[in-house]
Amino acid sequence: MTINLNPPRGFRDLYPPEKQIQEYIFDKLKNTANLFGFSFYDGPILENIAIYLDKTSKELIQRQTFSVKTKNETLIMRPEMTPSLARMIANKTGQLNFPLKLFNLGLRFRYEAPQKGREREFYQADFDILGSDSIISDAEIINTAVKIFTSFGATEKDFVLYINSRQEMEKNLLKLGFSKKIYKQLLEIIDKQDKVSNDSFIKSLLSVDNNKQRVKKLVNFLFSTRQEVSSYFVELFSILKKLKIDKYCQVNYNIVRGLDYYTGLVFEIKQKGPFQLKRALLGGGRYDNLISNFNPKNNIQGVGFAASDVAIWEFLQTNKLLPNTFPAKTKVLATIFDPTLIDTSIKIVNLLRKNNISAEFYLDLKKLDKQLKYADKKGIPYVIIIGPEEAKSKVYKLKNMKTGEQKTFDEKKLIEFLISN
């Protein structure tokens, strides 16, 4: 039987060069979490389907999940983290120190058609603030989202953070004369508008409220009004200004987000520039009723967002924000001249590692030029050459692989040099 050597569709093989890029992205995300005081947590990859029902988007759960049947239950591969987080918070009533700032970096799975910036398996970084309904928390979560992108060197030319509020939207729909019963349907249609033509967008709106004038007013409102017209936005932007991030932010009534559990603030980051991803780079909002849904005794508010590594990666690549090269982790290769000199190579490498200097000895008995080629291809900056004389004298030749320069050192000097270079 011939085995297909590729990963399943929508899944990724990350060889060292690609994994290095992913680790670069992960490190930035973790650094932002640490700098802003978010504590790391994690939950299971498989969850009972019950935690998603009536919370997450129906489409997501019914059609876009991978499910696993065991003897006793049907489990879902988590498509997002927030329901797991809500379950975990609800399960520790009275045992947590609020406000709680939480960070998760973990795998999510969606059974969707893979495309640019979207895979079936991807990592998401989730940042959440639990147990605070203050506008300061809304501002801090937006601040964190902006910091992620500026930490990669992105500027206001590269991205914009759009802000809206479900509450403000409902006030506006009321003002425009729509019936409260159809709010949810209207928001769902607005959420999907960028996937359809203008005409079919208007047709969809008319299908839930046949009043053409009202629908026209709504469309005008969505497309033209982008100023701060509510006291909530005015206050929020005054804090964003103090945080010096108002230049990245913009009110946008078209942003309503697809998940059912949002109750107030919703926001997303979109790429700017010629190769713009349709999909949001990051999205989130306030979900004040989600945890009490799990445990009515536990009325804990939440606000947070999630960003996928696949979308960030695509963004960094198209906006030329990825480093050109990553330094090799190994600093020194000790060559093995011949079988009798293995001892010395091993001894030197042991010594270097003891001093926390990343080092390798070559693993086979091959010619010196093959060993140097290995170091060169792996990007190892220094090679120690140990011949019979060096082994005897304990004075070693260190070759700088970039310049070709060779220096000799005794053991003590060698370590000093490698620590400071």
For the beta carbon of residue 390, count every other beta carbon within 10 angstroms. 18
Judged by CB under 8 A, the residue of 155, 225, 358, 421 near a copy of itself is 358
Residue 200-239 contact track with a copy of itself, rule CB under 8 A, x = bound? ---------------------------------------x
Based on the shown chain and the rule CB under 8 A, indicate whether residue 196 belongs to the binding site for a copy of itself: no
Residues in the chain: 421
Residue 208 φ then ψ, to 5°: -105, -20
How far is 73 from 77, CA to CA, in rounded Å?
13
91 touching a copy of itself, by CB under 8 A: yes
With respect to a copy of itself, which residue has the nearer C-beta, 229 or 357? 357
Q: In terms of CB distance, is 77 or 391 closer to a copy of itself?
A: 77
22 counts as binding a copy of itself under rule CB under 8 A: yes
Quick note: the x/- pattern for a copy of itself over 364-383, rule CB under 8 A, is xx--------x--xx-x---
> Do 168 and 230 form a contact (C-beta atoms < 8 A)?
yes
One-character DSSP codes across 207-251: HH---HHHHHHHHHHHHH--S--SHHHHHHHHHHHHTT-GGGEEE
Closer CB to a copy of itself, 129 or 218, in the complex: 129
Asked if 292 is part of the footprint of a copy of itself (rule: CB under 8 A), the reply reads: no
- Rounded to a whole number of angstroms, the minimum distance from the CB of residue 87 to a copy of itself is 6
When the beta carbons of 91 and 198 are compared against a copy of itself, the nearer one is: 91
What does the alpha-carbon distance between residue 118 and residue 104 come to, in Å, rounded to a whole number? 19
User: Does the footprint of a copy of itself cover residue 419 (CB under 8 A)?
Assistant: no
Cα 283 from chain centre: 11
> By rule CB under 8 A, what string of x and - marks binding of each residue 128-167 to a copy of itself?
-x--x-x-xx--x------x--------------------
Neighbours of 73 (CB within 10 A): 11
88/84 Cα distance (integer angstroms) = 6
User: Is 175 near a copy of itself (CB under 8 A)?
Assistant: no
